[in-house]
């Protein structure tokens, strides 16, 4: 797996945006060129990666988005697109004409501040137009968690009945809104309750990286399994490749530095280099208890999000969270 970041431009300003450090530090072009994108497709070929995962910024704002997608499809690859759903009409029409088996669009949706949100209306239209090619994603960035609005959204739009749940992890700067490990257990209870509502509606919940087993009780983990939630405890170098052909571990760890994607780079070797760089920090984990945790010893849990672990050892920030 590797993500290609084709656009540094976005038309939303999510408070939890993981890409903030990367966007602040980046001196690269705003959009990937066709020539650089072709080199990155060569990199995916060398790495035996069959899925082209496009993200940004907002990837669909790339002025040549359709040409880039055509290049990927011409190599018999499938497309995965991480979008906020506010895409140009021509792009939406193009994507809606692609075969369902070649395309997976994750529409990242924030909880609307009011029922009549124009943003949510456009996202609803995107899900409806793409149907089974698309499904919602939701990033948890505060303890107040309302997910139930996603169930009627899926039913009304006829999109794929899957929700990708993410935890908003901290950028190393800590400048994005994020959840803190001491909040995980309370969030775990809310997530399990929601999964219990989603399963009877035929909606499957998938977990993104950085969830940990100890945020759920044993009974809660059994309930997740019974609901066939796609539960996993992962943290590894995803590889996000920017428009200048530089790979980072993942957005929250952008400040750990990048590696150039050269004419003979392959994803496995780049990941191994990032794993070597981060090994000394891995020993710690997000909690002091991780050091003696059986789940850690067996390899079931990697110790949570490495960015959160690194933040543990930085000077504390004064931050007041006010209920919204």
- CB nearer to ligand SF4: give 65 or 287: 287
Diameter over CA atoms, the chain: 54
Mark the segment that binds ligand SF4 (CB under 6 A) among 47-55, 70-78, 128-136, 289-297: 289-297
Residues between 293 and 322 that touch ligand SF4 (CB under 6 A): 293, 295-296, 301, 303-307
Residues between 228 and 267 that touch ligand SF4 (CB under 6 A): 235, 238, 250, 252-253
- CB nearer to ligand SF4: give 153 or 305: 305
> Under 8 Å CB-to-CB from 228, ≥6 apart: which residues?
199, 204
Contact between residue 192 and residue 224 where contact means Cβ atoms under 8 Å apart: yes
> Under 8 Å CB-to-CB from 22, ≥6 apart: which residues?
240, 242, 248, 251, 254
- CB nearer to ligand SF4: give 103 or 290: 290
Residue with tokens 């997740």: 224
Element of type H or E holding 36:
helix 34-46
Q: Which residue in 9, 213, 255, 281 binds ligand SF4 (CB under 6 A)?
A: 213
- φ/ψ of 172, rounded to 5, equals -60, -30
What is the full DSSP assignment across 261-300?
--TT--HHHHHHHHHHHHHHHHTT-SSGGGGG-HHHHTTS
Residues in contact with ligand SF4, counted by CB under 6 A, come to a total of: 25
Mark the segment that binds ligand SF4 (CB under 6 A) among 28-36, 59-67, 94-102, 290-298: 290-298
- CB nearer to ligand SF4: give 298 or 322: 298
Mark the segment that binds ligand SF4 (CB under 6 A) among 6-14, 36-44, 54-62, 280-288: 280-288
111 alpha carbon, distance to own chain's centre: 17
Q: Which residue in 91, 209, 224, 267 binds ligand SF4 (CB under 6 A)?
A: 209
Query: How many angstroms separate the Cα of 224 from the Cα of each of 80, 91, 109, 164?
Result: 26, 36, 22, 14
- Within 13 A of 5's CA, how many CA atoms are on the CB side? 28
Distance in Å, CB of 203 to ligand SF4, minimum: 24
- CB nearer to ligand SF4: give 57 or 210: 210
Q: Which residue in 44, 107, 256, 290 binds ligand SF4 (CB under 6 A)?
A: 290
Whole-number Å distance between alpha carbons of 239 and 92:
27
Q: Which residue in 164, 210, 242, 256 binds ligand SF4 (CB under 6 A)?
A: 210
- CB nearer to ligand SF4: give 17 or 103: 17
Distance in Å, CB of 211 to ligand SF4, minimum: 9
Element of type H or E holding 78:
strand 78-83
Whole-number Å distance between alpha carbons of 169 and 141:
8
Q: Which residue in 85, 137, 188, 285 binds ligand SF4 (CB under 6 A)?
A: 285
Summarize as ranges the residues that interact with ligand SF4 (CB under 6 A). Answer: 169, 209-210, 212-214, 235, 238, 250, 252-253, 285-287, 289-290, 293, 295-296, 301, 303-307
């Amino acid at each position: 797996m590797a993500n290609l970041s084709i656009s540094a431009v976005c038309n939303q300003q999510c408070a939890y945006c993981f890409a903030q450090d990367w966007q602040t530090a980046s001196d690269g072009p705003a959009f990937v060129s066709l020539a650089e994108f072709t080199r990155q497709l060569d990199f995916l070929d060398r790495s035996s990666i069959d899925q082209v995962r496009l993200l940004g910024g907002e990837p669909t704002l790339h002025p040549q988005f359709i040409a880039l997608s055509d290049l990927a499809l011409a190599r018999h690859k499938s497309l995965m697109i991480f979008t906020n759903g506010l895409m140009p009409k021509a792009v939406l029409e193009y994507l809606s004409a692609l075969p369902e088996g070649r395309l997976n669009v994750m529409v990242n949706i924030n909880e609307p501040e009011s029922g009549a949100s124009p943003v949510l209306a456009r996202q609803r239209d995107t899900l409806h137009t793409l149907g089974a090619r698309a499904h919602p994603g939701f990033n948890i960035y505060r303890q107040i968690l309302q997910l139930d609005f996603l169930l009627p959204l899926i039913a009304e739009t006829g999109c794929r009945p899957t929700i990708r749940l993410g935890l908003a992890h901290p950028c190393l700067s800590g400048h994005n809104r994020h959840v803190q490990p001491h909040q995980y257990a309370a969030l775990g209870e809310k997530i399990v309750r929601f999964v219990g509502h989603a399963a009877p509606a035929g909606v499957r919940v998938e977990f993104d990286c950085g969830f940990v087993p100890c945020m759920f009780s044993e009974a809660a983990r059994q309930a997740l399994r019974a609901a066939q939630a796609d539960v996993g405890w992962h943290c590894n170098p995803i590889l996000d490749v920017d428009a200048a052909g530089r790979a980072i571990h993942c957005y929250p760890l952008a400040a750990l530095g990048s590696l150039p994607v050269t004419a003979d780079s392959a994803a496995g070797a780049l990941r191994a280099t990032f794993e070597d760089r981060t090994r000394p920090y891995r020993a710690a984990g997000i909690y002091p208890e991780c050091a003696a945790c059986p789940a850690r010893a067996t390899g079931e849990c990697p110790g949570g999000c490495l960015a959160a672990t690194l933040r543990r050892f930085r000077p504390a920030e004064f931050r007041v969270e006010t209920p919204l």
